[in-house]
Amino acid sequence: MGECTHNCSTCGEKCSAPQTDNPHELSRIKRVIAVVSGKGGVGKSSVTAMLAAAMNKKGYSTAVLDADVTGASIPKMYGVRGDVQSDGIGMYPVKTEDGIKIISSNLLLENESDPIVWRGPIIAGMVKQFWTDVIWGDVDYMFIDCPPGTGDVPLTVFQSIKIDGIVVVTTPQELVSMIVEKAVNMANLMKIPVLGIVENMSYVVCPDCGKRINVFGDGKAVGETAQKFGLPVLAEIPYDAKLVAAADGGKMDVQTFEYINPAADILESGLPVNTH
Ligand code: ADP
């Protein structure tokens, strides 16, 4: 066998899962969950922020590694600005008002609106450093806000970080089945379990009578896809102006979002501790 490229689909050898990098020696991270989506704008970062906030409110030490380097939005959603401290030992995450530890490319920029115009390998290298060079300390649940799609950077995330499970975020407008299938195939290739699907922006709740109104068709697309792949729908999130206001106002850590709780409960009960 030649040198391992970690692309198991082109290799006939039987080997164990690709070798991942160790986190910083001062990090003790119990569970790592990657949040992925097929494309941008479906609410992946919002779901990441809500899941982390829900686990934090349950009393777990929680962290978010923002790997969506070019579309970094986690600091803004939590109302956090610079300034990441570092010393000869490593880099230190910044804490939100509610105590969630975060690291993001946006925290390293002088102006949060500065664009990041780096090529894929540089971006991927930065994500890797967020894992290996950041002193995370004790973390019960780390969430990784992955870049959308199945490109260079998500691949690096999956290859360098030992991930315990993947959460797929989708909306009913997407080509749900194809997007989920891609995510599942990629996860299988990397030997990472897919924990389930979070369905976002599929319905609204009538403010007067509380009735659920499916905005897109009969509202079955995501459920049927989940069934096809034998995956649970972890949560169904309505289109909610409260969520937009919290994200824009930097209050995603202190606000509660009851509709994310089923997903948080599953993560709490269904994931083994696997200290990294
Ligand atoms: P992604 O990370 O997939 O690019 P974001 O989480 O940044 O998506 O969300 C994209 C936009 O959609 C943001 O303005 C966000 O506030 C909004 N959004 C996400 N989910 C919802 C929702 N359930 N209801 C209303 N707006 C939402």
pLDDT in tens, 27-46: 999 999 999 998 888 999 99
**Nearest atom (ligand 1) to Cα of 48:** 6
pLDDT score of 122 more than 90? no
Give which of 128, 174, 144, 139 is closest to 68, Cα–Cα. Answer: 144
**Nearest atom (ligand 1) to Cα of 244:** 16
**Nearest atom (ligand 1) to Cα of 237:** 23
DSSP bridge pairs for 212: 205
Topology classification of domain 21-269: Rossmann fold (3.40.50)
Contact 34/48 with Cβ under 8 angstroms? no
Name the pTM for this structure: 0.91
Contact 42/169 with Cβ under 8 angstroms? yes
**Nearest atom (ligand 1) to Cα of 201:** 23
d(CA 184, CA 182): 5
pLDDT score at 223: 84
Higher pLDDT, 270 or 263: 263
Both structure tokens of 213: 């109104």
Give 184's pLDDT tier (boundaries 50, 70, 90).
confident
Segment of 106-115, 134-143, 159-168 carrying the highest mean pLDDT: 134-143
Residues 6 or more apart in contact with residue 182 via CB below 8 angstroms: 38, 150
Q: Which residue type is seen at 266?
A: I
pLDDT score at 4: 53
Give me ligand 1 centre to Cα 205, in Å: 17
pLDDT score at 172: 84
Give me ligand 1 centre to Cα 227, in Å: 25
Higher pLDDT, 2 or 80: 80
Give 225's pLDDT tier (boundaries 50, 70, 90).
confident
Contact 32/144 with Cβ under 8 angstroms? yes
- Most informative mutation of 48, 216, 244 for ligand 1 (most atoms within 8 A of CB): 244
Give 119's pLDDT tier (boundaries 50, 70, 90).
confident
Give me ligand 1 centre to Cα 72, in Å: 13
Pocket of ligand 1 (CB under 6 A): 37, 40-46, 71, 73, 200-201, 237, 239-240, 243-244, 247
Calculate mean pLDDT across residues 2-25. 67
Instruction: Please tell me the residue having the least CA distance from ligand 1 atom 14.
Output: 244
Contact 179/42 with Cβ under 8 angstroms? no
Domain assignments of the chain as residue spans, ordered by start: 21-269
Could you report how far apart the first and last alpha carbons of the chain are, in Å? Answer: 29
**pLDDT above 70: percentage of residues in the chain:** 91
DSSP bridge pairs for 31: 141
- Most informative mutation of 46, 76, 244 for ligand 1 (most atoms within 8 A of CB): 46
Contact 47/169 with Cβ under 8 angstroms? yes
Q: How far is CA 171 from CA 48, 168, 235, 239, in A?
A: 15, 10, 12, 10
DSSP bridge pairs for 92: 85
Both structure tokens of 23: 């986190």
| Distance from the Cα of residue 45 to its chain's centroid | 7
Place of tokens 């289109």: 239
